[in-house]
Amino acid sequence: MFCDTHCHLFQEYYKDVDKIILLAKESGVDRMIVAGCDGKSNQEVLELVQRKEFYGVLGIHPEEIYTSTLRDMGFIKEHLSHSKIIGIGEIGLDYHYDKENKDEQIRLFEAQLGLAEEMHMPVVVHSREATLDTISCLKKYKVKGVIHSFSGSLETAKTYIDMGFLLGVNGVITFKNCHLKEVIKKIDLHNIVLETDSPYLTPVPFRGKQNDPSKIKNIAEFICELKDVSIEELVKITNENIKRIFDI
List residues near Ni ion by CB under 5 A.
Answer: 90, 197
Residue nearest to Ni ion (CB): 197
CB of 59 to Ni ion, least distance (A): 10
Q: Which is nearer to Ni ion, 160 or 225 (CB)?
A: 160
How far is the C-alpha of 8 from the C-alpha of 190, rounded, in Å?
Answer: 25
Is residue 137 classed as helix, strand or coil in its secondary structure?
helix
Closer CB to Ni ion, 63 or 197, in the complex: 197
CB of 168 to Ni ion, least distance (A): 9
C-beta closer to Ni ion: residue 48 or 240 = 48
Q: By C-beta, is 90 or 94 nearer to Ni ion?
A: 90
Calculate the CA dihedral of residues 211, 214, 217, 220 and round it to 10 degrees.
60
- Cβ 157 to Ni ion shortest distance, Å: 19
Strands 165-169 and 145-147: parallel
Closer of 118 and 210 to Ni ion (Cβ) = 210
**Torsion over CA of 82, 115, 144 and 79, rounded to 10 degrees?**
10
Q: How far is the CB of 27 from Ni ion (least distance, A)?
A: 20
Cβ partners under 8 Å of residue 117, min gap 6? 141, 142, 143
Q: C-beta of 99: minimal distance to Ni ion in Å?
A: 20
Residue ranges of the alpha helices (H) in the chain? 17-26, 39-48, 70-79, 102-119, 131-139, 154-162, 180-185, 216-227, 231-245
